[in-house]
Structure 1
Amino acid sequence: MTGTLEVCIDDAEGLAACRDAGVDRVELCAALALGGLTPGPGLMRAAARSGLPVYAMIRPRAGGFVATPDDLAVMRDDIAMARDCGLAGVVLGVARPDGTLDMAVLETLCAAAHGMGRTLHRVIDLVPDPLAAVDQAVALGFERVLSSGQALRAPDGAEMLARMHRHAAGRIEVMAGAGVTPDNVADLARATGIGAFHASCGTAAPNPPEIVAMGFAAASRARTEAGRIRALKARIAALDPPA
């Protein structure tokens, strides 16, 4: 099995760790503690200079995935910024109030991202029918979907991930993410047949106490570690070939 690793980051330090460890792709965000928001243009430009394939998260605010007309306008401008900065692709996901994918909005965003790579993010973990959503992602021209199999952690959603992977049948890549570590990636690959993985590869780093005391930050933050990336890459590289 030829495996790939995408690492999500939200700062220049994480970008350097990804470059040093040689990830297959970067998901570039701001505010990973909020689930990942659109990064600023400075970080986009730095990422474009890294020499790595970089996909920018396009999510203008925290909270749910239903987009207002104002959200849509911001997202279109953010896609244009990602293109202008020279990034390889974007990560998108928009839902209707009933939880299904908002095909009209996604068609508009995908048109704005024409010629760029596109990943459908974990909005798919909230839809009522993930197999139907895989078909919709194919119709929209996405390269891949990122999913935990509708569970908090991908290992707990392995059965659904396997179903999604079988249903995709080579039409689109299903990438497993959320709680993927060197200790569980081999079991996850065997259980699902999936060879594409997404992880943060982070450790908890303390924030300065004066910053915490003033309410500017939580007690700790996630810090991307090159050593963790290398360890996960090594486990993925050692995956058994499919039967």
Structure 2
Amino acid sequence: MAMRITLEVCVDTPEGFEAAVAGGADRIELCAALDLGGLTPSPGLMALAAKASTPVYAMIRPRAGDFVFGLGDEAAMLGDIDAVRSAGLAGVVIGANLADGRLDVALLERLMRHADGLGVTLHRAFDLVPDPVEALDVAMTLGVERILTSGLVPRAIDGVNLLKQLVDQAGTRLSIMPGSGVTPANVVELLNCTGAREVHGSCRAVLKRGDGRAVEFGFQANQSYRTSEVIVREMRTILDGVGS
């Protein structure tokens, strides 16, 4: 029997969420500020996403920048996990590093305990570790469901050798989910080279420039993007062909 390849789409707006669901995403990573790599979404966006039948995992990242978190950051993340549970979402996306890049096991254990009963994805804090083999062992011990990773390079298609090694090492204990720069043009090669059974993408299209005044005042970037239902559907169709 053919195995369906899971498509996770990251979104940061109500319109993006609707486009991802309509296009056939299997799971949503719900964020704010995707241009900053994704931050914790607002309670209002969580409540809106909870109305859909598609599983939704919320990013738990209280600020832009690195993933070395202090006590205030931790308190915010614990409260955000509570908000995810209250909204009725399926899971959370977490990650934390020590100053030397290794996973912050103590903090991750506390976050995992607080997220008991929710699904957990380890995010691309993993891509900053000095030793991915050791970090994968840590992740398996923590008990996360999957790791979102580009293979320790900016684009997943350039990290296929390590991604395959991680897929092989993880076996059935957790899923390695390639993400970063995943498009309809490269997703087949990515899957064929790694053996991964789920992928993560933004499926975004470039928007036209916004209002000049909004850009002038700093309310809007010169170039902006939006989740494209067409691209999500194209990706889903390609994945169905690979999985058949």
What TM-score do you get using the length of structure 2 for normalisation? 0.97
What does the per-residue CA deviation read over 1:177-221, in whole Å, with 9 as the maximum and x for residues that have no partner?
Answer: 011111111111111111210000001112221100112221121
What are the within-5 Å matches in structure 2 for residues 191-202 of structure 1? 191-202=193-204
Structure 2: distance between partners of 1:106 and 1:34? 22
Residue 115 of structure 1: aligned partner: 117
Residue 212 of structure 2: aligned partner: 209
What does the per-residue CA deviation read over 1:118-165, in whole Å, with 9 as the maximum and x for residues that have no partner?
Answer: 000001111011121111111111000000001111000111100110
Residue 228 of structure 2: aligned partner: 225
3-state DSSP class of the match of 1:2?
coil
Matched AA of 2:58: A
Structure 2: distance between partners of 1:54 and 1:208? 32
Deviation at 1:240, TM superposition (A): 5.4
Residue 59 of structure 2: aligned partner: 57
What does the per-residue CA deviation read over 1:22-45, in whole Å, with 9 as the maximum and x for residues that have no partner?
Answer: 210000000001110000100000
- Does residue 169 (structure 1) correspond to residue 184 (structure 2)? The answer is no
Structure 2: distance between partners of 1:23 and 1:239? 16
Matched AA of 1:239: V
Residue 78 of structure 2: aligned partner: 76
What does the per-residue CA deviation read over 1:65-109, in whole Å, with 9 as the maximum and x for residues that have no partner?
Answer: 001001000000000000000000000000001100000000000
1:238 aligns with one of 213, 237, 241? 241
Matched AA of 2:21: R
Structure 2: distance between partners of 1:146 and 1:14? 20
1:142 aligns with one of 138, 141, 144? 144
Asked if 1 retains the 8 angstrom alpha-carbon contact of 2:5 and 2:243, the reply is no
Matched AA of 1:80: D
Structure 2: distance between partners of 1:207 and 1:29? 22
Counting aligned pairs with the same residue, the percent is 48
Moved more, 63-72 or 14-23: 14-23
Q: CA RMSD in A?
A: 1.0
Asked if 1 retains the 8 angstrom alpha-carbon contact of 2:58 and 2:89, the reply is yes
Moved more, 88-97 or 218-227: 218-227
Matched AA of 1:174: I
Deviation at 1:2, TM superposition (A): 2.7
3-state DSSP class of the match of 1:233?
helix
3-state DSSP class of the match of 2:224?
strand
Matched AA of 2:220: A
- Give unpaired runs (5+ residues) of structure 1: none
Residues 2 and 19 of structure 1, relative CA distance in 2, 3 Å threshold: closer
3-state DSSP class of the match of 1:181?
coil
Structure 1: distance between partners of 2:170 and 2:237? 26
- Give unpaired runs (5+ residues) of structure 2: none
Aligned length: 241
Following superposition, which runs of at least 4 residues in structure 1 exceed 2 angstroms of deviation? none
1:31 aligns with one of 15, 18, 33? 33
3-state DSSP class of the match of 1:44?
helix
